[in-house]
Amino acid sequence: MILIQTSTPILISQSVETRYLCNMNSLSTQIESLKKEIASFSIQNAKELEAFRIQFLGTKGVVKNLMAEMKQVPPEEKRAMGQLLNEFKIFAEEKYNTAKEQIDDGSGDDKPAMDFSLPGNALLSGSRHPISLMRNRIVEIFQHLGFSVADGPEIEDDWHNFTALNLPENHPARDMQDTFYVQQEPAWLLRTHTSNVQIREMEKGKLPIRMIMPGRVYRNETISARSHCFFHQIEGLYIDEQVSFADLKQTLYFFVRELFGQNVKVRFRPSYFPFTEPSAEMDISCMLCEGKGCSVCKKTGWLEILGCGMVHPKVLENCGIDPQKYSGFAFGMGIERPTMLKYGIKDIRLFSENDVRFLQQFTGAY
């Protein structure tokens, strides 16, 4: 025998005294009608949800009261009635949880109905980093000339970064390219130029070579508006029989006219690199003042953009290439410099600060 509350919601929650005696049969009838009541209970907002909770699932609610009455049920009926009550409890909880989910995710009527005429959230499109734009453009120009792209490690050994390039230990030219060493393995260093890839390609022994090597390089330099401890380079290497300085000049001339415009002038100044002989610096006429002289070109009318030269026979030998049969030219340039010129960027640090306000200004096909 079990005492049960009336099915009138208000009475149920407010008056525990209003109870019926019932047996198994009347309990299931009661539960059936309570279920109907629950099913038709309208829960549209947080307030109604809470009213439902108090009435059916609260400490003085229908479910708790029914459970409390179980004490008085004779043992032979306990099991069956318990099961019935349990199912009822799950039924009420399910209604509560589903309604709560809908209200929490905003589909209840607490939130204003969606206004489809409002503008949507704009999809922000990304843009390439200016260094990538410039690198891709340079790569494209050289690809037109039949150069392919080669890649290599940024953590390098002494041989590939220095010694094979005719820069043995204690060579004074190493001072210009001081770098960072790996503490656990002092034989490893961060490459100071992408010339290490030139050595690695030559060592493979597959000739001719016509390649460019873009990548990040490192130097132990004080960070300022004009220099950083890492930057980007593109180097080029062309090795075949009878490659001459004339090929070097014509290739680079074609390149700068493609990049900076057909009116650009070039000049070569003698220079020194241990890995090329003869060596030169190539300047282009300043595109900002058209050679007249301005603050960017320091009133000279010329901008220095790359180093180049004929690959030193010793370097060819170091890589197992016969310098009697083969010759070649190499060149190397920083990517930051022409990018700063192209976009009028005054501080090299901006490239690596990841400031979206800076980065989102660059759009382009590359």
Interface residues with ligand PHE (CB under 6 A)? 193, 195, 235, 273, 276, 307-309, 330-332
CB of 180 or CB of 362, closer to ligand PHE: 180
CB of 333 to ligand PHE, least distance (A): 7
Report the residue closest to ligand PHE, judged by CB: 332
Shortest Å, Cβ 129 to ligand PHE: 21
* Nearest to ligand PHE of 235, 283 (CB atom): 235
In the bound state with ligand PHE, the residue whose beta carbon lies nearer, of 173 and 359, is: 173
Please answer whether residues 266 and 283 qualify as being in contact, where contact means their C-beta atoms are separated by less than 8 angstroms.
Answer: yes
Torsion, Cα of 246, 172, 337, 124 (10° steps): 120
Contacts (Cβ under 8 Å, ≥6 apart) of 147: 210, 211, 212, 236, 238
In whole angstroms, the minimum distance from the beta carbon of 289 to ligand PHE comes to: 26
3-state secondary structure of 174: helix
The token pair at 4 is 């049960």
Comparison of 301 and 313: residue with beta carbon closer to ligand PHE: 313
Strand 302-311 to 276-285 pairing: antiparallel
Q: Smallest gap, in angstroms, from Cβ of residue 235 to ligand PHE?
A: 5
Q: Which two tokens stand for residue 192?
A: 């100071």
**Based on CB atoms, which residue is closest to ligand PHE, 128 or 314?**
314
CB of residue 330 to ligand PHE, shortest distance in Å: 4
Contact between residue 259 and residue 141 where contact means Cβ atoms under 8 Å apart: yes
DSSP letters for 69-123: HGGGS-HHHHHHHHHHHHHHHHHHHHHHHHHHHHHHTT-STTSPPP-TTS--PPP
Q: How many helices (H) and strands (E) does the chain have?
A: 12, 11
Which residues face 211 on adjacent strands?
148, 237
- How far, in Å, are 58, 96, 98, 358 from residue 48 at the CA level? 14, 10, 13, 51
**Token pair for residue 266?**
């070039």
Q: Minimum distance between the CB of residue 276 and ligand PHE, rounded to whole angstroms?
A: 5
The smaller minimum CB distance to ligand PHE, of residues 93 and 281, is found at: 281
* CB-nearer residue toward ligand PHE: 9 or 309: 309
| Residue 319 CB neighbours (<10 A) | 18
Least CB distance from residue 193 to ligand PHE, whole Å?
3
Q: What are the structure tokens assigned to 223, written together?
A: 């960070």
Torsions phi, psi for 185 (to 5 deg): -145, 85
Q: Select 181 or 272, whichever has its Cβ closest to ligand PHE.
A: 272
Alpha-carbon torsion (156, 159, 162, 168), positive or negative: positive
Q: Report, in Å, the least distance between residue 312 CB and ligand PHE.
A: 10
Question: What whole-number distance in Å separates Cα of residue 301 and Cα of residue 299?
Answer: 6
Which tokens go with 249? 């000049």
Residue 274: cis peptide before it, omega within 30 degrees of 0: no
For the bound state, the minimum distance from the C-beta of residue 294 to ligand PHE, rounded and expressed in Å, comes to: 26
Query: Cβ closer to ligand PHE: 268 or 302?
Result: 268
